[in-house]
Amino acid sequence: MPSFITQGIVLRHADYREHDRMLTLLSPTMGRVEALCRGCKRPQSPLLSASEWFALGEYVLFAGKGRMTVSSCHVTETFYPLRTDYDRLKYATYLLSITEAAAQPGEKAVELFTLLARSLSRLAYTGKDPQAVSAAFLLHFSNISGYRPRLSHCVRCGKAIPDEQIRLMDIENGGLLCSSCSEGISAAQPVTLPQVQWMRDVLQNGIDKTTLPESNAPGALLADYVETRIEKKIRHQGLWKT
Ligand SMILES: [Zn+2]
């Protein structure tokens, strides 16, 4: 029976029988993968750390009897500090939920895998504001998913919008609205110029390079934007400060 070696990040696990867990992994080459991790809940199991949330490693998967089984794993990163900081943990869990909802079985996810790994690393190991890190994740996520928001021209009529007229973003159509197109659009949400400038800069230069204030990151807006696109509403109590 065939076996596969793939990088993976644990997006979710569910208890299965007494000692096993069913893992949902993100693989750069195989997309979303469900794999049974046998015996991982036994004390001293070599697969215990490979079956925890956020674990990143090289998984050896075995395909048989209609399902994948984890036969071994070399864990390279656990993002352990996420477990000791509830606030960061909440955001990290949210990123896993978005990834799980968007990744498809059998579809390559190389960019998403890299984005998720880097974002988890920033949440775990840097002092960056977790809301800004998560907003940057959502922004890059929309870019690699093919719906980068339009941030200088009207998404309806295509007209360039002067900075001083920036006021609304059309969530469903994916970009700013000019003043004449703003009438009666129910999915339009308020956005400020500093928020738009932050999004432009992070899209262009990345969150590590931007010098704009983290408080300009429009987390709630981007969450609404991405969740509308992937058609999945994710509960996020108290995640986004307004
Ligand atoms: Zn317009």
Assign residue 48 the CATH number of its domain: 2.40.50.140
What average pLDDT does the segment 172-191 reach?
89
Note the pLDDT of residue 169. 96
Decide if 61 contacts 69 (C-beta within 8 A). Answer: yes
Taking the centre of ligand 1 as the mean of its atom positions, its distance from the CA of residue 146, in whole angstroms, is 21
In a domain, 113, yes or no: no
The H-or-E segment that residue 139 falls in is helix 130-144
Decide if 6 contacts 27 (C-beta within 8 A). Answer: yes
Taking the centre of ligand 1 as the mean of its atom positions, its distance from the CA of residue 162, in whole angstroms, is 12
Taking the centre of ligand 1 as the mean of its atom positions, its distance from the CA of residue 72, in whole angstroms, is 55
In a domain, 31, yes or no: yes
Confidence of residue 242 (pLDDT cuts 50, 70, 90): low
Comparing C-alpha atoms, which of 134, 151, 116, 154 is closest to residue 240? 134
**Residue 3 in 3-state DSSP?**
strand
pLDDT at position 160 over 90: yes
> Domain tally for the chain?
2
Q: Are residues 133 and 73 in the same domain?
A: no
pLDDT at position 186 over 80: no
CA dihedral (194, 151, 135, 59) positive or negative: negative
Give the structural domain span for 142: 128-230
In a domain, 140, yes or no: yes
In a domain, 99, yes or no: no
Please give the model's pTM, rounded to 2 decimal places: 0.95
In a domain, 62, yes or no: yes
Q: Are residues 145 and 224 in the same domain?
A: yes
- How far, in Å, CA of 198 to CA of 207, rounded? 9
